[in-house]
Structure 1
């Protein structure tokens, strides 16, 4: 029996977590798109010292105040030791010890070596630890690294981050009917997944290390292709997931000693998708069997490969997000239906040209609306949504 779609996603995510990839340390400028393997905590209070938020005068006591110095950003401030004294101060500069208040430059009058004016009652500087305290957890392990997080890490005193490395992915394209160049004809079609799937996988944070195809439609060729790719963390195959006369994936998996994690999913299109695993070189290698029809293959990608990669990197389990439908979406009986949709002003509408073998609808869509079994999507209703990479 095909596994329930949501159960299948959870199953492969948990399998990935059990085989989570080891951590590595990379410079900040190489961390974007990776996943934190350790919590991000400041190495000092943020800010580390009292910091002026304006250009003006650091004042002690009552005025007028005698100007005794200047402190710029990046300098260590000399203390104000006497009442009635002032130090010119720049935005971002360290507030001198002994400062009672800061007078904005635009609210001040200077006469010789004296400055006068009325300071705001509101404090015009940031105290140590106002943003965060040393050792405070800012982001947990499993958080995706973004440019904003990289900037925060730098402000916390980091030169490097401990992250989970990118999963190494191999791609095997099965099918004697596939052409790799030129126009389709004479019973043969162009391979669309060979050029497209590496881009999808790269956008999902994977490192594509091996591409082979079209692999000959024989059992020996399938077994040889899988064995040659076992050093990868994940092997994605396209085609051969059924049990037809040239579908050799299942016997090839048996030949290399693989065990099923998920074998067929109650989803349309693309239900003959699968994930298997095999032990190789002291680690787990996963095999994701994607159907050969392009749209079905992408359904399998967002259904199973996305949560599997999240598990391998220690990221949180990916969940659909809600969208509002602006057009009707049919259900598929006992199966979950993943329907290609695109955004319009009033909401999300089904894409056109969405047959399993078609790419036109896929190219114009932004993701899939998830219609549960025994239901349909109606205009104005909310539906779960999976974004295309």
Structure 2
């Protein structure tokens, strides 16, 4: 068996980013930027008022109260075309350009208006409530860097930079192939010895959430012809993920059948719980990840291995889920030689850290506890017993890493 870190490293060193495409920024949220962008304008393009009030010369409002003559108005989207002289003011609204000759804004609340006169009741320093030209960004300034998964905040910045289109990585196509005579889809008739196939739906949802495009190849029967025929559907995919059939057994045909089709196995067992029978290899140029059949194992392996592979395909330099400190709500026994990922819930907070409670039953077939869990507790191989109040490593399940 190899370690989790070694397995993840072996996977990532074989992954190359997918090709690029150009999309509208309206469709770019969640996509990974592939080329550097630069602002096509300066924001704001000129000095603007940050408040409703009056544009004045700072030297006129140092000694108050003082009365100024109102000579015009400037609204957002418009401007005052003249020049303001000593003793004069222009009524101005938020977002309007400062008239020539002014340098300071007196907010409306600090004034009293009578016809064409305004009484300034509060002094203001030079530049008060003025948004200087370029305070946000200047033309040519760099935007989000390549490798950034674009957030709604990034879309707002790109729009303000007057960038209507961006070059992004296309969505990686992940082919999912379930295996086993015992599997049926939700809603189908269930035989006496059959179970509902959940893994493909869970992993497909995770792929979609991470920014990929899942391709469901269906459920292969436990025979060579079925597995070979259905696996051929992965020819156009960027990665093939098999679900089940990766461990040692008479009916675990993945290695045997795909080996005849050119599969070169890198590893197939890792020192991890759950998820020991994880397999990785290359199928005629397509990375292949063989997941365990147990639903909890396949989901946790997706967090630990599939997500980093997906991010690498999208050109993101992320190798592992973030592990943050948390405090145990109870004692925990020592660990054996396998790296543990244990389902848990955050039940409180102490000293700024989450307090976590593990589920008593960590059986890798229990979907109910997986649904209820919102985090995993990660334990190193041969970890010593941990007492209540000890600090342990936590991985959030309720968030897609890394930008939680």
TM-score for both structures, normalised by structure 2: 0.87
Distance in 2 between residues matched to 1:371 and 1:136, nearest whole Å: 44
1:141 corresponds, among 142, 146, 152, to 146
Distance in 2 between residues matched to 1:200 and 1:366, nearest whole Å: 15
SS in 1 for 2:193: coil
Distance in 1 between residues matched to 2:89 and 2:342, nearest whole Å: 68
Distance in 1 between residues matched to 2:161 and 2:111, nearest whole Å: 34
Distance 1:171 1:330, change over 3 A: farther
Partner of 1:155: 160
1:105 corresponds, among 100, 105, 108, to 108
CA drift of 1:114 comes to 1.9
1:379 corresponds, among 373, 382, 388, to 388
1:231 corresponds, among 233, 236, 244, to 236
SS in 1 for 2:394: strand
Distance in 2 between residues matched to 1:7 and 1:102, nearest whole Å: 62
Partner of 1:186: 192
SS in 2 for 1:230: helix
CA drift of 1:177 comes to 1.0
- CA offset digits 1:14-35 (Å, max 9, x no partner): 332xx10122221122111111
Alpha-carbon contact 2:39-2:137 (below 8 Å) kept: yes
CA drift of 1:183 comes to 7.2
CA drift of 1:40 comes to 4.7
Distance in 2 between residues matched to 1:387 and 1:239, nearest whole Å: 25
Distance in 2 between residues matched to 1:316 and 1:266, nearest whole Å: 25
CA drift of 1:331 comes to 4.9
Distance in 2 between residues matched to 1:199 and 1:352, nearest whole Å: 27
Alpha-carbon contact 1:351-1:364 (below 8 Å) kept: no
**Unpaired segments ≥5 residues, structure 1:** none
Partner of 2:275: 270
Partner of 2:213: 207
- CA offset digits 1:287-306 (Å, max 9, x no partner): 21111111111121112101
CA drift of 1:365 comes to 0.6
2:46 corresponds, among 42, 46, 49, to 49
Partner of 1:9: 8
Alignment RMSD: 2.2
Distance in 1 between residues matched to 2:329 and 2:157, nearest whole Å: 40
CA drift of 1:262 comes to 4.3
Of 133-142 and 170-179, deviating more is 133-142
Partner of 2:352: none
Distance 1:12 1:383, change over 3 A: farther
SS in 2 for 1:120: coil
Distance in 1 between residues matched to 2:301 and 2:357, nearest whole Å: 21
2:134 pairs with 1:126: no
Distance in 1 between residues matched to 2:101 and 2:88, nearest whole Å: 10
2:325 pairs with 1:323: yes
What is the total number of aligned residue pairs between the two structures? 381
1:338 corresponds, among 338, 341, 346, to 341
Partner of 1:355: 363
Alpha-carbon contact 1:35-1:142 (below 8 Å) kept: yes
Distance in 1 between residues matched to 2:253 and 2:373, nearest whole Å: 32
Distance 1:47 1:201, change over 3 A: same
TM-score for both structures, normalised by structure 1: 0.90
Matches within 5 A, 1:48-127: 48-60=45-57, 62=60, 64-117=67-120, 118-121=122-125, 123-127=128-132
